[in-house]
Amino acid sequence: SVALLDPLSGEKSGDAAKSEITKIKVNNTLRRAIRDALGTLTLGAKDPAARIAAADTMFKTPDATNIEPLDAAIASETVASVKALLEQARAASVLVSDRPEADKLAAVALIGGRGDRNALSPLTAIEANSEGAVKDAATAAIANINSTLALWDAGQNIW
């Protein structure tokens, strides 16, 4: 017999035979769901570092379902640097959504303005999976970032 505990309170809630219990298998899908849920929960954390971590996670793993929680977090954010990261995370999520072309063009511009290597991933993905103005904007943003990074690399080699 195995003692069962309430997951919220931790109190004993009964007993069950071991054969009656099914073990939850943790796979990448479950890990991703947990990570995304924690990211959404930490958007409202008091600590700016926690909100930054949540924004970073959502930027790196964009999902259309993140847009609404990010909109709420952006509306209530008071720290400018955190707000900028939340807006970038929202933009990355817009790129993987079915939002209109105008929204995607604005998202490409925002992420392109970030100008770092991390911006290349969502831009490369949208470039490969879109056409027309969005593809052209992503191509231009990628070229601009690569040009800037090449200049920085050359500058570092001189020193």
> What ranges do the domains of the chain cover?
29-99, 101-159
Q: What is the pLDDT of residues 64-85, one digit of tens each?
A: 999 999 999 999 999 999 999 9
Q: Per-residue pLDDT for 39 more than 70? A: no
Comparison of pLDDT for 105 and 11, the residue scoring more: 105
As a whole-number percent, the residues of the chain with pLDDT over 70 amount to 96
Instruction: Decide: 76 and 109 in contact? Cβ < 8 Å.
Output: no
Nearest to 33 by CA among 72, 82, 56, 66: 66
Which residue in 59, 36, 35 sits closest to 120, CA to CA? 59
Q: Which residues, 6+ apart, have CB-to-CB distance to 95 below 8 Å? A: 62, 104, 107, 108, 111, 122, 125, 126
The answer on pLDDT for 36 being more than 70 is no
**Mean pLDDT taken over the chain:** 90
Residues 53 and 38: beta-carbon distance below 8 Å: no
pLDDT for 2-21, tens place per residue? 888 887 788 899 898 988 88
90 CB-near residues (< 8 Å, 6+ apart): 66, 67, 70, 71, 74, 107
Q: Does residue 126 have a pLDDT over 90? A: yes
Grouping H, G, I as helix, E, B as strand and the rest as coil, residue 14 is strand
Query: Residue 58: in which H helix or E strand, if any?
Result: helix 48-60
Note the pLDDT of residue 87: 98
pLDDT exceeds cutoff 90 at 35: no
pTM over 0.85: no
Question: What confidence score (pLDDT) does residue 122 get?
Answer: 97
